């Protein structure tokens, strides 16, 4: 009896039904000219692997966006609709591809060894994940172009926007240097949000109205809450394992003190900034809409009350 092989084989190693990483390896080698398995993130050797490069990029980014905003003062805004659509469509596809590749690498570790192993064990930092983390880091440089579009289109530059864009790039660099095994948690959540976010901007660039914009900010806030819950735990295990082994029963977590503390501090600031943005954008807008509706209702009711008074006055005169 002939058994027809199924095109998709679902298993812990193939959560999407087929092996994605071998496909990626072929594409990578065709583009780079070297096998993906040869990649290693080496400080001072790999592109954008030094603090100087990261700092210079941040300073250049700030100079360009603020200098550009000044130069655009008396210049009409550019539309750039087609270019903006292409930019967002490509980032949607790239973010989705990286997300799928990372999930394929991480899911078997969680399934076979558990969540603690996946976020803390040194063995959870693998060569394929290191390459994917690095590619995600490079995408953060690409995402700086988001702000250039805002400047060219004369959109308001929010502190949250340029701080988040530049410092997320720095965060990715710091975690590559620190080799923190928990890196996949914030990266996977961030990629999930970015797939939806860049799809949203791709659609709205063509004039489509999307009703769920508000929920993107809610998702980002939820993302940071989950991030902080996990990385606070991992940082406690790491610091206790390194400095207070007598009170730690869990061993330790892979990474350095500096990378862990930097991640905790930055993601905490993100949470407060996004909550503040949410309140300023949506709560005040809701309050303004409510106030406007009440004022309109009062204006509609006022003539009726005056008419009632005018109708009642003659009657009172007749009584007296």
Show Cβ contacts of residue 223 under 8 Å, excluding neighbours closer than 6 positions. 186, 189, 190, 192, 193
Show Cβ contacts of residue 119 under 8 Å, excluding neighbours closer than 6 positions. 181, 182, 184, 185, 230, 234, 253
pTM: 0.87
Rg of the chain over Cα atoms, rounded to whole angstroms, equals 27
Instruction: Look at the block and give the residue holding tokens 């596809």.
Output: 93
Q: What is the pLDDT of residues 182-217, one digit of tens each?
A: 999 999 999 999 999 999 999 999 889 999 988 999
Q: Report residue 143 CA to chain centroid gap.
A: 11
Q: Is 14 helix (H, G, I), strand (E, B) or coil?
A: strand
Look at residues 138, 97, 123, 126 and name the one whose alpha carbon lies nearest to residue 36. 126
DSSP 78: P
Instruction: Look at the block and give the residue holding tokens 């509706």.
Output: 293
Question: How far apart are alpha carbons 225 and 275 in whole angstroms?
Answer: 11
Write the burial class of residue 138 (CB in 10 Å: 0-12 exposed, 13-18 middle, 19+ buried): middle
Instruction: Look at the block and give the residue holding tokens 């997320």.
Output: 168
Residue 1 has pLDDT above 90, yes or no: no
Q: What is the pLDDT of residues 64-115, one digit of tens each?
A: 999 999 999 999 999 999 999 999 999 999 999 999 999 999 999 999 999 9
Q: Quote the tokens at residue 49.
A: 């692997």
Question: How far apart are alpha carbons 192 and 212 in whole angstroms?
Answer: 15
Q: Please state, rounded to an integer, the average pLDDT across all residues of the chain.
A: 90
Cβ(227)–Cβ(186) below 8 Å: yes
Domain boundary assignment for the chain? 21-210
Q: What is the DSSP string of 158-214?
A: -HHHHHHHHHHHHHHHHHHHHT-GGGHHHHHHHHHHHHHHHHHHHHHTTT---TTHH
């Amino acid at each position: 009896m002939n058994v027809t092989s199924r095109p998709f084989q679902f298993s812990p190693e193939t959560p999407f039904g087929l092996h994605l990483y071998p496909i990626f390896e072929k594409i990578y080698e065709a583009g780079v000219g070297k096998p993906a398995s040869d990649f290693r993130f080496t400080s001072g050797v790999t592109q954008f692997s030094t603090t100087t490069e990261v700092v210079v990029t941040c300073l250049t980014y700030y100079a360009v966006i603020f200098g550009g905003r000044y130069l655009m003062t008396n210049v009409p805004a550019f539309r750039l609709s087609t270019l903006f659509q292409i930019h967002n469509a490509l980032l949607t596809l790239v973010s989705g591809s990286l997300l799928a590749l990372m999930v394929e690498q991480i899911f078997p570790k969680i399934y076979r060894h558990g969540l603690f192993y996946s976020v803390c064990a040194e063995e959870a930092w693998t060569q394929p994940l290191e390459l994917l983390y690095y590619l995600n880091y490079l995408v953060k440089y690409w995402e700086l172009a988001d702000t250039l579009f805002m400047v060219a289109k004369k959109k308001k530059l929010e502190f949250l926007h340029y701080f988040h864009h530049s410092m997320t790039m720095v965060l990715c660099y710091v975690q590559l240097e620190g080799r923190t095994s928990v890196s996949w948690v914030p990266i996977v959540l961030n990629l999930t949000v970015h797939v939806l976010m860049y799809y949203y901007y791709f659609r709205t660039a063509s004039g489509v109205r999307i009703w769920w914009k508000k929920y993107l900010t809610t998702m980002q806030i939820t993302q940071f809450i989950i991030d902080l819950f996990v990385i606070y735990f991992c940082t406690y295990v790491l610091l206790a394992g390194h400095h207070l082994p007598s009170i730690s029963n869990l061993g330790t977590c892979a990474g350095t003190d500096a990378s862990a503390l930097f991640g905790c501090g930055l993601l905490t600031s993100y949470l407060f900034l996004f909550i503040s943005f949410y309140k300023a954008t949506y709560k005040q807008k809701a309050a303004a809409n409510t106030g406007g509706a009440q004022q309109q209702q009062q204006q509609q009711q006022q003539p009726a009350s005056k008419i009632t008074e005018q109708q009642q006055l003659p009657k009172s005169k007749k009584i007296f």
